[in-house]
């Protein structure tokens, strides 16, 4: 399994020697997913075989492309790992095989098999740009956990090095009773005989702060390079201590004042979203305002025509791309001739053209927003773009 990143998109694009196979498989939170997963993946392999045959691939080519996926079906250790879903990519390039699990990100895969000239990456792109994602840190001395949320859902994520609680972070230390009778000062390795009054409240405060610093270290590494807001979820008594330890610059001023261990994921999402929603809405409003302003003053720098968007995406001209959620447009596009064919359904060799535009936009440094119908800058189109030049 590979961590998804912009570098991984570039690696996939470099290895997308057609025919390219993209599989998305929801598994769900089943306790028997170690049995369920291989069965579901076999069904997707069958669909991929049928699509490859329709493209004219022979048995040997099909076998070579899909062999890494067949091996994955038989990998017991892989299926013993918890995950909510799976994305699998393979192509005629032997180095293209990748798997991405969504157990560590708040995304939700829809069952899809796509065989075409390019990999189908749109389902993963929200992890990189314009996805309105945020984080919730559930924190107390008894528990620490990080969750990633979007507008619609929230899920816990695995964070390397994040201590589960204060005991795991600091281990067993000198008890309060022992410290009560120990000398405060040492000289030359020998006790000076000066005994002081032990302050258990001060000791505990220091211990909690050191624990929070270890939590912050892990969170900092997990969120390095991100700008998504982070919300504290915990009782009020822990808020100030964590803020003192925190170094993540996008920690929200408002917090969830409740023990997160008593809350469901839905309750955490419902509590966190009102805190972060204004941040995202302002970001989207700013992007839409820029689009409308430029459309009114320099209309040649905006468009809702898919052919123009595809050409601009390939040549790094798109600053911001707006996509209507859940939309697909199958077809073929040649960036050299700017020739576009669109189909009403998926055909052998066709690709999701909206996916292609979004992928190229992200690779070339643009921002992609997936919006609801009422949010789109042009309600008559499922795509719109603001050009750089």
96 pLDDT higher than 50: yes
Asked whether residue 146 is assigned to any structural domain, the reply reads yes
Average pLDDT over residues 141-148: 93
CATH classification of the domain holding 333: 3.30.1330.30
Global pTM value: 0.68
pLDDT at 127: 65
* pLDDT class of 45 with cuts at 50, 70, 90: very high
Among candidate residues 151, 87, 97, 155, the one with its CA nearest the CA of residue 121: 87
Asked whether residue 283 is assigned to any structural domain, the reply reads no
pLDDT at 183: 45
Among candidate residues 107, 110, 95, 114, the one with its CA nearest the CA of residue 48: 114
195 pLDDT higher than 50: no
Query: At 141, phi and psi to the nearest 5?
Result: -60, -25
* pLDDT class of 186 with cuts at 50, 70, 90: very low
DSSP lists the bridge partners of residue 146 as 137, 157
- Give the Cα separation of 152 and 343 in Å (integer): 31
Share of the chain above pLDDT 90, in %: 56
Q: 254 and 138: one domain?
A: yes
Asked whether residue 280 is assigned to any structural domain, the reply reads no
- Give the Cα separation of 154 and 172 in Å (integer): 34
Task: Show Cβ contacts of residue 372 under 8 Å, excluding neighbours closer than 6 positions.
Answer: 324, 325
Q: How many CB atoms lie within 10 A of CB 62?
A: 20
- Give the Cα separation of 45 and 111 in Å (integer): 12
pLDDT mean across residues, the chain: 86
Q: How many CB atoms lie within 10 A of CB 166?
A: 22
Asked whether residue 199 is assigned to any structural domain, the reply reads yes
Q: 47 and 18: one domain?
A: yes
């Amino acid at each position: 399994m590979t961590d998804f990143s912009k570098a991984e998109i570039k690696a996939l694009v470099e290895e997308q020697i057609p025919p390219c196979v993209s599989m998305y498989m929801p598994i769900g939170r089943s306790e028997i997913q170690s049995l369920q997963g291989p069965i579901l993946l076999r069904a997707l392999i069958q669909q991929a075989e049928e699509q490859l045959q329709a493209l004219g691939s022979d048995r040997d080519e099909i076998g070579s492309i899909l062999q890494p996926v067949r091996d994955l079906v038989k990998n017991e250790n892989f299926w013993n790992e918890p995950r909510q879903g799976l994305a699998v990519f393979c192509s005629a390039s032997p180095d293209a095989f990748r798997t991405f699990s969504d157990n560590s990100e708040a995304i939700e895969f829809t069952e899809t098999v796509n065989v075409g000239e390019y990999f189908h990456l749109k389902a993963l792109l929200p992890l990189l740009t314009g996805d309105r994602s945020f984080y919730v840190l559930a924190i107390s001395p008894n528990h620490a956990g990080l969750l990633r949320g979007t507008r619609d859902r929230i899920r816990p994520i695995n964070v390397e090095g994040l201590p589960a609680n204060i005991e795991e972070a600091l281990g067993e230390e000198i008890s309060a009773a022992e410290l009560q009778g120990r000398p405060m000062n040492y000289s030359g390795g020998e006790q000076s005989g000066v005994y002081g009054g032990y302050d258990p409240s001060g000791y505990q405060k220091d211990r909690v702060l050191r624990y929070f610093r270890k939590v912050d270290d892990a969170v900092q590494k997990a969120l390095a390079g991100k700008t998504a807001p982070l919300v504290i979820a915990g009782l009020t008594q822990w808020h100030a201590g964590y803020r003192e330890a925190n170094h993540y610059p996008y920690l929200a001023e408002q917090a969830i004042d409740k023990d997160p261990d008593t809350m469901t994921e839905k309750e955490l999402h419902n509590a966190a979203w009102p805190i972060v929603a204004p941040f995202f809405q302002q970001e989207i409003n700013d992007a839409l305002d820029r689009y409308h302003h430029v459309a009114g003053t320099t209309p040649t720098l905006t468009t809702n025509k898919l052919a123009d968007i595809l050409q601009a995406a390939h040549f790094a001209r798109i600053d911001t791309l707006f996509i209507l959620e859940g939309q697909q447009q199958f077809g073929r596009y040649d960036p050299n001739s700017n020739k576009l064919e669109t189909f009403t359904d998926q055909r052998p060799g066709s690709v999701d053209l909206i996916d292609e535009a979004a992928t190229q936009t992200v690779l070339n440094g643009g921002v992609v927003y997936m919006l609801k119908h009422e949010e789109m800058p042009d309600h008559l189109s499922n795509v719109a773009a603001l050009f750089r030049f």
